[in-house]
Amino acid sequence: MLLPLKVLSLSFKFILLGFGNLPELQILLFLVFLVIYIVTMSGNILIVALVVADQHLHTPMYFFLGNLSCLETCYTLTILPRLLASLLTGDRTISVSGCFVQFYCFGCLITTECYLLAVMSYDRYLAICKPLHYATLMNSRLCLQLAAGSWISGFLTCVITMWFMLQLIFCGPNEIDHFFCDFSPMLKLSCSDTSMITLVSFILASINTPCPFLLTVTSYVCIIATILRIPSTTGRQKAFSTCSSHLIVVTVFYGTLMTVYLLPKTSTLKALNKVFSVFYTVLTPMLNPLIYSLRNKEVKEALRKPRVCGI
């Protein structure tokens, strides 16, 4: 059973500093993030709707893409509404419970995305490296198991971190130098001994990030090796086109994620850290549907169908 969070008083609230050091840009930032929010939500919901409605997209690849778009929608709802509200109203406070809910949802979703991207790379590995056995190996039952396993792994892993977080006492400073409730900035505000939760989070992060990442890299090494052995240029281009969108998404996601969490935690790099955090929390969910819709022939055809029907 989770124990109640210990704070100095019932009125205790966190303050998300966000981009408060740029008062002259608050309206501009609000408009920029509002456009990103609308584009992200519209794009990802559209992808989910297309995958559900179009029979031609009822394949493992698009089933996992639908899961990714659903995840990105939840991701956006976790981060952006609170950020937009603070930019518009100037109220940067967030309740303790609200902060911990945001932290838990963010942790669950980012862990799930690591596993889901690994699953998608494994799907492309089977499709390109074992095409004759693909339909048998990647059946509907395995698809459901892999997708469910990705979601469950994310949510269960974060329960452990959350349990330790709820044991902490917050009695001093309440300013979180970030635009959302992230692990490290929150930990700095605790009056408790954080050595145990730091160790636990390190162990969990060492399992939940490198393992899916290595699986993804291994899959693409095998994919690229197989593509290079294809004799014809047309064959190589066709094979690569089936995984190029996913490869771009993986590169953007892990590139920005590693930059944020591997950068030295110095005062001079704080602003840069926020910028890269915007990339993987805000921009990546917006780019994913754009990348898949622009580079995938099947998605573009599915997008044209309503127009054809309406003519």
Which pLDDT does position 220 carry in this prediction? 92
Say what the pLDDT of residue 245 is: 80
**Predicted pLDDT at 53:** 87
Q: What is the gyration radius of the CA atoms in the chain, in angstroms?
A: 21
- Tell me which amino acid residue 73 is: T
Phi and psi angles of residue 94, each rounded to the nearest 5 degrees, phi first: -145, 135
Separation CA 282–CA 289 (nearest Å) = 13
Predicted confidence at residue 10, as pLDDT, reads 45
pLDDT of residue 259: 79
d(Cα 244, Cα 174) in Å, to the nearest integer? 44
Measured from the Cβ of residue 234, the count of other Cβ atoms closer than 10 Å reads: 9
The whole-angstrom distance between residue 216's C-alpha and the CA centroid of its chain comes to 15
**How much is the pLDDT for 70?**
94
* Total-model pTM: 0.88
- The arrangement of secondary structure in 13-303, i.e. its CATH architecture, is Up-down Bundle (1.20)
Q: Which two tokens stand for residue 119?
A: 């699953």
Q: How far apart are CA 98 and CA 163, in angstroms?
A: 16
Which stretches of the chain drop beneath a pLDDT of 50? Answer: 1-4, 8-10, 307-311
pLDDT at 2: 42
Q: List the chain domain ranges.
A: 13-303
pLDDT number for residue 56: 82
With vertex at residue 156, the alpha carbon angle to CA 209 and CA 115, rounded to the nearest 5 degrees, is 35
